[in-house]
């Protein structure tokens, strides 16, 4: 595990994005400059845990290390505050994964570090 990962683990576990103190726009992942007004006056903000699927795809040939999960769904989710998240959809029947479906964040194992055996968790979404 890298030190950088552990320093920023709250961003992965709690869906921490940014909120512009000038115009109030929220974004995820965290930004260094507001996408709406260009201000650099940003603060950390926990994002909503719910949203809707904007678009999705089903992967049959996953990246190395994710073969056991194939096939699986990747979706763009528009959170309730308007921010968008690219995420994996898990624990949901295939016919429930569709544009407009309501989803909520959940924590799941992302990877296991082969060298140390440490399990790294991250956010994924499930259809509700």
Owning domain of residue 77? 48-128
d(CA 92, CA 70): 14
- Render pLDDT for 71-87 as a digit per residue (tens, 0 to 9): 889 999 999 999 999 99
CATH of the domain at 65: 2.40.50.840
Report pTM.
Answer: 0.81
Evaluate if residue 1 carries a pLDDT over 60. Answer: no
Distance (Å) of CA 70 to CA 9, 21, 63, 109 = 26, 42, 10, 15
Q: Which residue has the higher pLDDT, 126 or 70?
A: 126
Residues 83 and 24 in one domain: no
Q: Using CB atoms within 10 Å of the CB of residue 89, give its burial: 0 to 12 exposed, 13 to 18 middle, 19+ buried.
A: buried
């Amino acid at each position: 595990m890298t030190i950088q990962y552990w320093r920023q683990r709250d961003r992965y576990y709690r869906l921490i994005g940014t909120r512009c103190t000038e115009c109030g726009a929220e974004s995820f992942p965290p930004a260094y400059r507001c996408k709406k007004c260009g201000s650099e006056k940003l603060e950390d903000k926990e994002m909503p845990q719910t949203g809707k699927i904007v678009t999705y795809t089903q992967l049959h040939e996953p990246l190395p290390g994710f073969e056991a999960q194939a096939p699986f769904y990747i979706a763009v989710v528009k959170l309730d505050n308007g921010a968008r998240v690219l995420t994996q959809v898990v624990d949901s029947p295939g016919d429930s994964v569709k544009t407009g479906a309501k989803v909520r964040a959940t924590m799941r194992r992302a990877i296991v570090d082969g060298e140390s055996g440490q399990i790294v968790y991250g956010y994924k979404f499930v259809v509700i």
